[in-house]
């Protein structure tokens, strides 16, 4: 239930996105607790958390799980005390939305255990609210919708204003490679919230509900800095999404990815030197159509569109050069057995 983004303005509930699932998964096993306490264990982290009382707000992975429980309770469902065991192959802190994968897996598990009348869209909506209210990230619904609804064979187009979503064919002759830059994403949550606030203020000054309602980049030219650059990124990124979802060859899709990274680096300012070096090496490598950072930025991973069957070979070459430049990255997709 993990996911990987293509283009994402990450502005608000009024954006458009194009997503693709990756093969890494998060699985939860759950049952009833023998005492009046919740017990959560993460195999990936080798960490156990016990929720001691109803007001207890744990940090880390447990906050996402408990957030899902509490959001169900807000909706009137009775959730018994649980033993919950998490197994995940989704890398944490790489921009691959491990939190959304955990939330969706938890809610699917609770749906099955308690026979809850929730569809996959409702699962995504509850997961988003859990992240906002219990993890403190003012996120949109993109990650949760993709984790809940997407598949590994297609891209998922999502309009977060209407929740319209549909599958879109992947570019012919291409596959995805995802490489972790090795740069930790310590500022991702706070930086995400700041960028969203910038976008909301820019929309207010322009007199529109959201920046997606601006069709031309030139229309934001009168905004003060840095709001002009933030808005420029969002408007251009939405236009890239609409072009990509209309169906373009791999070469053009790669050009859109390259433009997306430049905009994320210069206008949205969410890249870091390690990501720029890694993305630059990918973009200059034969067989790579395009590359960009993924997730909220400030570290983490980058995604590249590469010639089909070449992902592992290209990643090996790029990682060797990346290491010689003094960095330590690793291949995430294609998965190494």
CATH code for the domain in which residue 62 is found: 3.30.230.10
Confidence of residue 96 (pLDDT cuts 50, 70, 90): low
Number of domains in the chain: 2
Structure-token match 């294609």, residue found: 334
Q: For residue 77, is pLDDT > 80?
A: yes
157 within a domain of the structure (yes/no): no
Residue 13 lies in a domain: no
CA distances from 282 to 17, 286, 289, 296 (A): 23, 8, 9, 20
Q: Which of 91, 116, 151 is the last residue of a domain?
A: 151
- Quote the pLDDT of residue 249: 96
Residues 295 and 236 occupy one common structural domain: yes
Structure token digits, residue 200: 């909301």
Cβ neighbours of residue 177 closer than 8 Å, sequence gap 6 or more: 282, 303, 304, 306, 311, 312, 314, 315, 331, 333, 334
Place of tokens 């992947």: 170
pLDDT at 24 exceeding the cut of 80: no
Question: What angle (nearest 5°) sits at the alpha carbon of residue 307, between those of residues 302 and 313?
Answer: 70
- Model pLDDT, residue 320: 97
In a domain, 29, yes or no: yes
Instruction: Judge contact between 65 and 102, C-beta under 8 A.
Output: yes
Question: Cα separations (Å) of 190 from 51, 55, 106?
Answer: 26, 24, 25
Catalytic residue among 14, 35, 120, 143: 143
Domain with 303 in it: 174-333
Q: What is the mean pLDDT of the chain?
A: 88
CA distance 204 to 202: 5
Secondary structure class of 71 (helix, strand, coil):
helix
Q: With contact defined as beta carbons under 8 Å apart, do 150 and 17 qualify? A: no
pLDDT over 90, % of the chain: 64
State the Rg of the chain over Cα: 20
Q: Is the pLDDT of residue 11 over 80?
A: no
**240 pLDDT more than 80:** yes
CB 238 within 8 A of CB 159: no
Q: Residue 52 corresponds to which tokens in the numbers above?
A: 């001691």
My answer on whether 305 and 272 are in the same domain is yes
Asked if residue 158 is part of any domain, the answer here is no
Is 159 a catalytic site residue? no
């Amino acid at each position: 239930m993990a996911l990987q983004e293509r283009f994402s303005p990450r502005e608000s509930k009024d954006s458009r996105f194009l997503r693709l699932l990756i093969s890494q998964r998060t699985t939860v096993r759950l049952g009833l607790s023998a005492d009046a306490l919740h017990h959560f264990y993460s195999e990936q982290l080798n960490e156990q958390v016990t929720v001691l009382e109803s007001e207890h707000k744990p940090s880390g992975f447990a906050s996402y799980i408990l957030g899902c429980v509490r959001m169900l309770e807000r909706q009137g469902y009775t959730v018994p005390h649980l033993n919950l065991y998490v197994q995940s192959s989704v890398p944490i802190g790489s921009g691959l939305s491990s939190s959304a994968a955990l939330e969706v897996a938890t809610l699917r598990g609770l749906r099955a255990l308690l026979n809850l009348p929730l569809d996959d869209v409702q699962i995504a909506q509850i997961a988003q609210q859990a992240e906002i209210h219990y993890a403190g990230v003012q996120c949109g619904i993109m990650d949760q919708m993709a984790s809940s609804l997407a598949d590994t064979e297609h891209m998922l187009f999502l309009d977060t204003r209407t929740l319209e979503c549909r599958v879109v064919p992947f570019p012919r002759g291409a596959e995805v490679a995802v490489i972790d830059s090795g740069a930790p994403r310590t500022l991702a949550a706070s930086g995400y919230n700041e960028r969203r606030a910038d976008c909301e203020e820019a929309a207010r000054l322009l007199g529109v509900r959201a920046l997606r309602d601006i069709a031309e980049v030139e229309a934001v030219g009168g905004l003060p800095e840095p709001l002009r650059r933030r808005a420029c990124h969002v408007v251009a990124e939405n236009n890239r999404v609409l072009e990509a979802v209309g169906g373009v060859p791999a070469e053009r899709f790669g050009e859109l990815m390259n433009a997306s990274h430049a905009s994320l680096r210069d206008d949205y300012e969410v890249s870091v030197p390690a990501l720029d070096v890694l993305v630059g090496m990918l973009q200059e490598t034969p067989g790579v159509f395009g590359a960009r950072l993924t997730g909220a930025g400030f570290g983490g991973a980058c995604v590249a569109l590469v010639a089909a069957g070449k992902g592992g070979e290209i990643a090996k070459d790029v990682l060797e050069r990346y290491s010689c430049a003094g960095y330590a990255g690793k291949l995430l997709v294609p998965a190494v057995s």
